Structure 1
Amino acid sequence: MKHITSRDNAQYKDLKALATSSQARRKAGRTLLDGVHLCESWLQLRGLPEQCIVSDSGLLNPEIAALVRELEAQHGHCLQLPDALYEALSQVEHGVGMMFLVPTPERAAPAALSVNAVLLDNVQDPGNLGSILRSAAAAGISQIFCSPGTAFCWSPKVLRAAMGAHFVLDIFENVPLAPLLQDAPIATLATSGYAKQKLYDVDLKGPVAWVFGHEGQGVSDALLALARHRVVIPHLGQVESLNVAACAAVCFFEQVRQNLA
C-alpha cells in the first residue's frame, strides 16, 4: 500500500486533474470510478484497475478493507490518502472512501449497424446520458454511438448515473451518425413529438438502432430524414414531451416486451 500525504505530490496532482477536468480525462484516456458499487462492478467485469485509491477512514469500512485485501492478493496497486486529500478528489458528497483509476476504452466504430444499438445526437445532460446507458444495458442493447456533441460518457456524473452499465456496453464516441443511418441493414427508429407513427405500432422483434436527440431540440432534421421510422410515444397528460432518458427507457422496454411476448 503506497501512501501520499502531500498535495504537491506529482501523482496526486495528476489524480486531481482527472477528478476535476473532462479535458484531462480525455487527454489521459483515464477516469475515476467513485464508490464501492462501481469499483466492484469493474473488478467483476473488467478485472484489476490501474490503481485503487482509498481514504484513511475508508479503510475502516469492512467492505472496502475486504476489497483492498482482494486487490493486494492479486497484486493490484493501492494508494492510501488522508481524508482531506481524498475528499478533494471525490465528486460524491459523503462518499465511502474508495475509487478506482481505470482506462477509458477507445474503440473504432464498426462501419455498419448490425445489432441492437443506440445513437445519441447531442445528448448533453450527464444524468440523462447515464440513465440511457443503464436502461440500454438492462434491455440487452450492446452498442452505443455518440455524436461529437454528446456528453463524454466516462465523466464521473455519467458513470454514477449508469451504475456500471459502461462495463457491459461497447461505447463509441465522437462518431458521425449520418453514415450509420444511410442504407442501414437493420431497422432505424428516431423519436419525434411530431411523428405520426406510434411506437407501439412498429415491429421491434428484429435488431433496432434507436436515435435519440438533444434534450431541448430533439433529433436533428437531417438524422430524422435518414431514419426508416419516425415514432412518437403517445401520452395522456398535458406535458409537451417526455424526458429523453424516460423516452429511451419506454422504447427499449417496448422492444423487450415484443421479444418476450
Structure 2
Amino acid sequence: MKTITSTANPLYKELKHLATNAHARRKAGRSLLDGIHLCEAYLQHVGLPALCVVSQSALEHHEAAPLIAQCQAGAVSGIVLPDSQYQALSQVEHGVGLLFVIETPHVVVPAALTQSAVLLDNLQDPGNLGSILRSAAAAGIKQIYCSEGTASAWSPKVLRAGMGAHFILEIFEGVDLAALMASAQVPVLATSSYATQSIYQADLSGALAWLFGHEGQGVAEDLLQLASQQVVIPHRGQMESLNVAAAAAVCFFEQLRQS
C-alpha cells in the first residue's frame, strides 16, 4: 500500500473533496464507506472496492487487518494516511481508520412496480432514510424508490444509518413516483392519521408498496390520492404521530408477520 503524508498530494486532495462535497461525489459517481462494518458488509455482499484507504493506526487493528488483506489479495489499490490526515476524511468519531471508495451503483428504474417496495416522497432526514433502508432490508423488502428532493441515499450519513442495507437493496433515486404508482401492478398503501382502517385490519399478506413522505408535511396530496389504500397505525397517548422511520418499521414488520 502506498503511504501518503502530504496534504498537497493530488489523490489526497481528491479524497478530501469527495468526503466533504456531495456534488463532487455525484459528479465522480463514487461514494465513501467509512468504518469497519460498512466495509465488511460491502466485501460480503458486493465485492472489492475501487480504493482502500487506511489510517496508520488501523494497519494492525484486529478487525481492519483481515479486510485490508482481502483487498490486497484482490489487487485493490490502497493508501495509508497519518491518523490526522485520515480524520479529515472521516465523519466517524473514535472509529477504526478504514474507508472504501466505491462506484455508486447506477440502476435503471423498472418499467412497472411488480413487487413489494418502499416509495419515499421528499424524505429529508438522512438518519430517517438510513433507518428505513435498514428496516426494509430486515423485513425482506428489496426495492426502494426515492423522489427528487429525498435525501441522497449514498451520502455518508445515510450509509452509516443504513448499516449495510444498501448492499442488499435496489435503490432508485430521482423517481417520478406519480408515474410509478400509475403503472403499479401491486397495491400502494399510504399511512395517514385520517384513515379509518388500521394496518392490523388491512390485508398485507401479498406483495405491496408502502408510501411515506416528508417528516413534517407527510405525503404530497396528489400522491396520497393515487394510493390504493390509506391506513393508520393506532397508538395511545397524546403524540400526534410517529417518527416516519418508526412508522415504516411498524408497517414492514406487520406485513412480514402476515406473510
TM-score tier, shorter chain, comes to over 0.9
Work out the CA distance in 2 between the residues paired with 1:170 and 1:251: 19
Matched, 1:173 2:186: no
Deviation at 1:184, TM superposition (A): 1.9
Provide structure 1 residue ranges, at least 5 long, that are not aligned to the other structure: none
TM-score, structure 2 length as denominator? 0.98
* Aligned counterparts, 1:90-101, within 5 A: 90-101=90-101
Q: TM-score, normalised by structure 1?
A: 0.97
Q: CA deviation at 1:66?
A: 2.1
Whole-angstrom distance in 2 between the partners of 1:94 and 1:240: 37
Question: In the aligned structure 1, how far is the partner of 2:159 from the partner of 2:17?
Answer: 17
Q: Residue 113 of structure 1 aligns to a residue in which SS? A: coil
The match for 1:19 is: 19
Supply the distance in 1 between the matched residues of 2:151 and 2:167 (Cα, whole angstroms): 18
* TM-superposition CA deviations, 1:46-65 (whole Å, max 9, x none): 11000110000111312212
C-alpha offsets along residues 93-137 of structure 1, whole Å, 9 cap, x if unaligned? 111100000011111101210011000000010000000000000
AA paired with 1:101?
Answer: V
Equivalent AA in structure 1 for residue 128 of structure 2: N
Q: Which residue of 2 aligns with 1:119?
A: 119
Q: Which moved more, 1:63-72 or 1:172-181?
A: 63-72
Tell me what 2:236 maps to. 236
Structure 2 counterpart SS, 1:60: coil
Distance in 2 (alpha carbons) for counterparts of 1:184 and 1:134: 24
Deviations 1:110-165 (A, max 9, x none): 12100110000000100000000000000000100000010000000000000000
CA deviations 1:147-201 (Å, max 9, x no partner) are: 0010000000000000000000000000010011114211110111122221111
| Whole-angstrom CA distance in 2 between matches of 1:72 and 1:63 | 15
2:37 corresponds to which residue? 37
Query: Alignment identity in percent?
Result: 64
- What are the ranges of 5 or more consecutive residues in structure 2 without an aligned counterpart? none
**44-53 vs 180-189, greater mean Cα deviation:** 180-189
- Equivalent residue, structure 2, for 1:160: 160
> Is contact 2:142–2:169 with CA below 8 Å preserved after alignment?
yes
> 1: CA distance between counterparts of 2:175 and 2:246?
23
Aligned to 1:150: 150
Task: Name the SS of the counterpart of 2:129 in structure 1.
Answer: helix
SS at match of 1:167: helix
CA distance in 2, matches of 1:102, 1:183: 33
Counterpart position of 2:57: 57
- Residue 44 of structure 2 aligns to which amino acid in structure 1? Q
**Any conservation in 1 of the 2:35–2:99 contact (CA below 8 Å)?**
yes
Please give the secondary structure, in 1, of the residue aligned with 2:69.
helix
